[in-house]
Amino acid sequence: MVEAIVCTGANIVDQDFFEALGFKHYVGTQYGIDDQELRELMIDRIYDTFIDEEDLRICDDTIAQICNVLPKRPHSSREFIREMGRYLDENEQYAMTRQDSIVWHCHKKGIPIFVPAFSDCSAGFGLVHHQWHNPDHHLSIDSAKDFLEITKVKLANPDSGLFMIGGGVPKNFVQDIVVACDILEKEAPMHKYAIQITVADERDGALSGSTLKEACSWGKVDTVYEQMVWAEATIAMPLIAGYAYHKNSWKGRPERRFNDILDQKKLVVA
């Protein structure tokens, strides 16, 4: 049902990869909490959930370890996250905890994950550690390479649709690939359909609240099949995804395995 993912680093690293390593998010509260005391106890609060800072440091160090063994060149976030999935796959100590990991499953299924602001999460600390200790010969993350790779995917597959949960950088990044095609003087239609779940208000100027009709004026999204869903994501997303799953229209669709194709540089572009 999903052929590519564009996401935040917080979702992919601090939540998914973190738990695949065997660590947990704990039920907490946002009420009556002394955040100074949490700091002294090395407990990080994410609204009403808690995580152990020492566990997060291990996650950061694991990212640095992956950096240290990869070729010292610019990588797209997609390439690096693929290696995170490979790391989970090759270390049997994670055989149980990786079962619910998006990173691991996408590695197995050849599905690319793009995180255009990759350093803006726990992975950034691992990258900083790696580059600090290897100032003359190190790995880096090339955000322009991300943009080029996903643009090539669009050029090779003109019919595209978006299912967006929230907004921000991932939303703009995936919509902009249509404009990138135009800049490259390549023919590519607007995204055929787009659905966005958000509670953001378009009047506050934030990208999360900008409407899909507005995106049409930029040549990003066709307004024939676009729908803004004004709802809280953890309520609306399971309902929409469940409907799409049980409708069974996805059955029989071939796997695209864009990761494999991009790695081999054999993506056919019109």
Q: DSSP assignment of 140-205, as one string?
A: EE-HHHHHHHHHHHHHH----EEEEES-SHHHHHHHHHHHHHHHTT---PPEEEEEEEE---GGG-
Measured from the Cβ of residue 13, the count of other Cβ atoms closer than 10 Å reads 28
Per-residue model confidence as pLDDT tens digits over 206-238: 667 777 667 677 677 777 778 888 999 999 999
Over the stretch 155-166, which tens digit does the pLDDT of each residue have?
988 999 999 998
pLDDT at 72: 96
For 7-117, list the strands marked E by DSSP: 26-27, 43-46, 49-52, 74-75, 113-114
As annotated, the active-site residues are 220
Please state the rounded mean pLDDT for residues 187-203.
86
Domains and CATH numbers, the chain: 5-141 (3.40.910.10), 144-264 (3.40.910.10)
